[in-house]
Amino acid sequence: MTKLDRRTAAVHPVDHIAHSHRLRWPEALPWLLIAATYLLFPSYLALGSQVLIMVLFALSLDLVLGYAGIVTLGHAAFFGLGAYTAGLLAAHGWSEPISALFAAAVVAGAFGAASGAIILRTSGLTLLMLTLAVVSLLAEAANKADSITGGADGLQGIVINPLLGRFDFDLYGRTAYLYCAAVLLVMWYVVRRLVHSPFGRSLTGIRENRLRMHAIGAPVRRRLVTAYAIGAAVAGVAGALQAQTTQFVALNVISFHLSAAVLIILIFGGAGRLYGAFVGAPIYMVAQDMLSRLDPVYWFFWVGLLLVLVVLFARGGILGCVDGVRRRWP
Amino acid sequence: MARLGTLLCALAFGATVAATPPARAAETVKVGVILAYSGQAAASVKQMDEAINLYMKLHGKELGDTKLDLIRRDDTGPNPDMAKRLARELITRDKVNLLAGFYFTPNINAVAPLATEAKVPVIIMNAATSASIRLSPYLVRVSQTLWQQSYPLGQWAGHHGIKRAYIAVTDYGPGHDAEAAFARGFTEAGGTVVGHVEMPLKNADYVPFLQRIKDEKPDALFVFVPGSRDAAALMRAYSDLGLAAAGVRLIGTGDIVPDNELAEMGNVPDGVVTIGLYSAVADRPANKAFVAAWKAEYGPDAVPSPFAVGAWDGMAAIFHVVKAQHGKIDPDRTMQLLKGWRDDDSPRGPIMIDPQTRDIVQNMYIRKLERVNGKLANVEVETIPMVQDPWPKLNPPK
């Protein structure tokens, strides 16, 4: 018996699963930090909002990759769809932000369901290439349709009404930050409920042993497509937040580049743990901000080095490291 | 007792120091420079940054005791979210007086509303889409627009014996601008566009496109491709397929013959005609001095590109407003000073900011690609004086 088994043996496995949905006190930590950032660093809120948006985006990828085990390089397709949905609505007179979030979620979710139904028939490298193809196709479509999307010059004329009719999106980004934090809180709660539900459990089952799930009669593909669509909808909300807080959308929201960046963030933090996104995004983006300030030309080198170190020495990401330490010194 | 005396002395000294006004406080002007230091445009942006550094080195003393503080930020490429966030931080946290730089159009388009909201003048050193300048009254452009190049080239081609032309451009915003502008100028001068093709942005192989064009046998092929790698690949395809021998002349914007890439282009047939705002071999005294200073700083083989000249003149504009206001920058006064600002000593010849459009007015040069002392060079053969951007007249504001 290893140390791990002995420690967890105290709790009956069934109890462990039955109680895992209960909130524990460390889960308040990210929210305390988010509130503290607002109070302590009022001049860093623009960066703060972008970090929160990336947290939400990485959280949606965690559902797809970390829990359902769908390896994707095309997750930015849904982020971009959400961004363009919110952007186009706002540019054509629909300036109310919260309803536009719902619209973005519906559009991205529907596209996720449709494309998922096709590409999730495959797996492994084929699936990886197909996700890449989907994001490339969408990006090219957005580039070609420049009378609608503004093409490479970006979508202009986005007007966002004050939040709830009262709070203007100000120059310092206070409203944007609180708005992003509130949306993230709601989406986090939804995703958390989901991964601890029987549905979420079956996703983990599919990830760990697909054949066995088939054998016990679980509708594997339907579950995967559903998870993919929900992940897409959450990513769409993140994209819409980005469009609304930046009040501009351009082709970079649907790019392989962004898909890869969010994957790196999740690997940094630790996939399949729900909180990997909360750890990875701030570290990656703050490191990027500080390094690019010190060295505007070669900062990418240092980000790359950091990633190599994480992949070499901290396989489960930063949270995986933390777990490892706790296991060694319980 | 002694201690009390010391204390009193210290107090008295402190009071005198506090009461004496500082001997002429040196003003500090902060300029946020947002450029794509990393990513696909890094090579061109390096040239821009070198020009900024060289200008500071050669002209820094002219500011007297005013301190010019350049705060550089990397927007990593066509990444408007990042550019806007950086601009927001430069404005709210670093309290910059001016913004400058901007290589990519979407980035300046995203920042424009911030410039209006915060009243921060922006000097665009590269982004070349005509419509951008209308997005805020606080924008000024010192680089160029694609209409400013392609439209006069179309007219020149129509008036110089080219009857049938084929258009090949890269399939994105600036390419579409170049195509529309050339087609308009060319047809107005009596030419016929016999065909056009939009080539994918990430495409290193121009052979299939050029083969099809060769079969069409036009008098000339007009091309716009961005970036130095594409320019070199295009030139190779043009000479390999023997389009020159087949009677198809190659014409285009200066982007297909970047001065700093010519050394690597190899065997290019004679007779390539381009239009451009700047050639490193131009014999204007201001340019000779500029190129000499460039080589002294960055080595005998270094050649400044049009990107460098855009950044250089951007610095000249910044110095102009800083000197005129003695370091106390007022945004509206700055815009007044920039509208109609004229500089006859730019390496590219006389330049002026159009007071109405806030866009640059400059000479456009028709250049032939020739060997000078064994090295390829863009030799200026004709000057079209003081060209305004034709786009605003053709597209009046709604």
Q: What pLDDT, in 10s, does the model give residues A2-53? A: 444 444 445 566 676 667 777 888 888 899 999 898 989 888 888 899 999 9
Type and span of the H or E element at B34: strand B28-35
Bigger pLDDT: B38 or A20?
B38
pLDDT at B172: 76
B205 φ, ψ (degrees, to nearest 5) = -110, 105
CB–CB contact A296 B74 (8 Å)? yes
CB–CB contact A252 B117 (8 Å)? no
Give the whole-angstrom CA distance, residue B252 versus residue B225: 9
pLDDT at A76: 94
Percent of chain A with pLDDT over 90: 39
Residue B14 scores a pLDDT above 60: no
Which residues of chain A make contact with B201, given a CB cutoff of 8 A?
Answer: 143
Average pLDDT over chain A reads 86
Bigger pLDDT: B220 or A301?
B220
Residue A298 touches chain B, beta carbons under 8 Å: yes
Q: How is residue A143 written in tokens?
A: 């580039």
Q: Where in chain B is the domain with CATH 3.40.50.2300?
A: 28-144+284-358, 147-276+364-394
pLDDT at B255: 86
CB–CB contact B114 A171 (8 Å)? yes
**Is A196 within 8 Å of A16 (Cβ atoms)?**
no
Give the whole-angstrom CA distance, residue B253 versus residue B378: 12
**Is B77 within 8 Å of B40 (Cβ atoms)?**
yes
Q: Average pLDDT in the B232-239 region?
A: 86
B16: CB partners within 8 A, 6+ apart: none
Q: Average pLDDT in the A84-102 region?
A: 90
Q: Closest Cα partner for B144 from B105, B202, B98, B187?
A: B105
Of A44, A154, A253, the CB nearest to B109: A154
CB–CB contact A50 B92 (8 Å)? no
**What ranges do the domains of chain A cover?**
27-254
Which residues of chain A make contact with B113, given a CB cutoff of 8 A?
Answer: 247
Give the whole-angstrom CA distance, residue B109 versus residue B83: 10
Type and span of the H or E element at B322: helix B306-324
Bigger pLDDT: B318 or A304?
B318
Of A153, A171, A247, the CB nearest to B106: A153
pLDDT at B348: 93
ipTM reported for the complex, 2 dp = 0.78
Of B74, B109, B118, the CB nearest to A153: B109
Residue A325 scores a pLDDT above 70: yes
CB atoms near residue B160 (< 10 Å):
15
DSSP A249: B
Residue A300 touches chain B, beta carbons under 8 Å: yes
B28-144+284-358 belongs to CATH 3.40.50.2300: yes
Q: Which amino acid is at B105?
A: T
Q: Closest Cα partner for A52 from A210, A136, A173?
A: A173
B23: CB partners within 8 A, 6+ apart: none
Q: Closest Cα partner for A237 from A89, A107, A150?
A: A107
pLDDT at A11: 57
CB atoms near residue A169 (< 10 Å):
17
Residue A95 touches chain B, beta carbons under 8 Å: no
Residue B228 scores a pLDDT above 80: no
Q: How far is B90 from chain A (nearest CA, A)?
A: 10
pLDDT in tens, B93-152: 899 999 999 998 889 999 999 999 999 999 999 988 888 899 999 999 999 999 999 999
DSSP A146: H
Q: Give the residue on A whose Cα is nearest the Cα of B41.
A: A297
Q: What is the pTM of this model?
A: 0.83
**Is B106 within 8 Å of A156 (Cβ atoms)?**
no
Average pLDDT over chain B reads 87
Give the whole-angstrom CA distance, residue B168 versus residue B197: 5
Residue B2 scores a pLDDT above 80: no
Quickly tell me which residue has 């054949």 as its tokens.
Answer: A211
Q: How far is A34 from chain B (nearest CA, A)?
A: 19
**Is B377 within 8 Å of B365 (Cβ atoms)?**
no
Which residues of chain B make contact with A298, given a CB cutoff of 8 A?
Answer: 38
Residue A172 touches chain B, beta carbons under 8 Å: yes
Of B37, B81, B91, the CB nearest to A297: B37
Interface list for chain B against chain A, based on CB atoms closer than 8 Å: 37-38, 42, 46, 72-74, 76-81, 84-85, 88-89, 91-93, 105-106, 109-110, 113-114, 117-118, 129, 131-132, 135, 171-174, 176, 201
Q: Average pLDDT in the B296-302 region?
A: 91
pLDDT at B203: 64
Residue B225 scores a pLDDT above 90: no
Residue B230 scores a pLDDT above 50: yes
Residue A294 touches chain B, beta carbons under 8 Å: no
Q: How is residue A268 written in tokens?
A: 């940094």
Quickly tell me which residue has 């050649």 as its tokens.
Answer: B303
pLDDT at B24: 53
B173 confidence band (pLDDT: 50, 70, 90):
confident
DSSP B98: E
Which residues of chain B make contact with A299, given a CB cutoff of 8 A?
Answer: 38, 74
**Is B360 within 8 Å of B306 (Cβ atoms)?**
no
Give the whole-angstrom CA distance, residue A134 versus residue B350: 50
Q: For Cα atoms A148, B130, B174, give the angle at the middle one, nearest 5 degrees.
A: 65
pLDDT at B96: 95
**Is A270 within 8 Å of A318 (Cβ atoms)?**
yes
CB atoms near residue B233 (< 10 Å):
17
Residue A299 touches chain B, beta carbons under 8 Å: yes
pLDDT at B15: 47
Quickly tell me which residue has 């909360």 as its tokens.
Answer: A278
Instruction: Write down the CATH number for the domain with range B147-276+364-394.
Output: 3.40.50.2300
B18: CB partners within 8 A, 6+ apart: none
Q: Select the residue from A144, A153, A160, A301 to test the B interface by mutation, using most B Cβ atoms within 10 A.
A: A153
CB–CB contact A292 B172 (8 Å)? no
pLDDT at B3: 53
pLDDT at B360: 95
Q: How is residue B52 written in tokens?
A: 């900024």
Q: How far is A153 from chain B (nearest CA, A)?
A: 5
Q: Give the residue on A whose Cα is nearest the Cα of B110.
A: A248
Q: Is B279 helix (H, G, I), strand (E, B) or coil?
A: coil
**Is A309 within 8 Å of A263 (Cβ atoms)?**
no
- Highest mean pLDDT (candidates A136-145, A271-280, A296-305, B305-314): B305-314
Give the whole-angstrom CA distance, residue A170 versus residue A159: 13
Residue A210 scores a pLDDT above 90: no
Q: How far is B61 from chain A (nearest CA, A)?
A: 26
Which residues of chain B make contact with A147, given a CB cutoff of 8 A?
Answer: none
Q: Is B69 helix (H, G, I), strand (E, B) or coil?
A: strand
pLDDT at A84: 95
Q: Average pLDDT in the A68-93 region?
A: 92
**Is B151 within 8 Å of B116 (Cβ atoms)?**
no
pLDDT at B372: 83
pLDDT at B5: 52
pLDDT at B25: 59
pLDDT at A301: 83
Bigger pLDDT: A161 or B20?
A161
Which of A39-53, A159-173, B209-223 shows the lowest per-residue confidence on average (mean pLDDT)? A159-173
Percent of chain B with pLDDT over 90: 56
SS3 readout for B195-238:
EEEEECCCCCCCHHHHHHHHHHCCCEEEEECCCHHHHHHHHHHH
Bigger pLDDT: A16 or B383?
B383
A268 φ, ψ (degrees, to nearest 5) = -50, -55
Q: Give the residue on B whose Cα is nearest the Cα of A299.
A: B38
CB atoms near residue A67 (< 10 Å):
23
pLDDT at A6: 47
pLDDT in tens, B347-364: 999 999 999 999 999 999
**Is B166 within 8 Å of B196 (Cβ atoms)?**
yes
Give the whole-angstrom CA distance, residue B100 versus residue B104: 12
Give the whole-angstrom CA distance, residue B129 versus residue B150: 12
Q: How far is B35 from chain A (nearest CA, A)?
A: 9
CB–CB contact A248 B80 (8 Å)? yes
Q: How far is A174 from chain B (nearest CA, A)?
A: 12
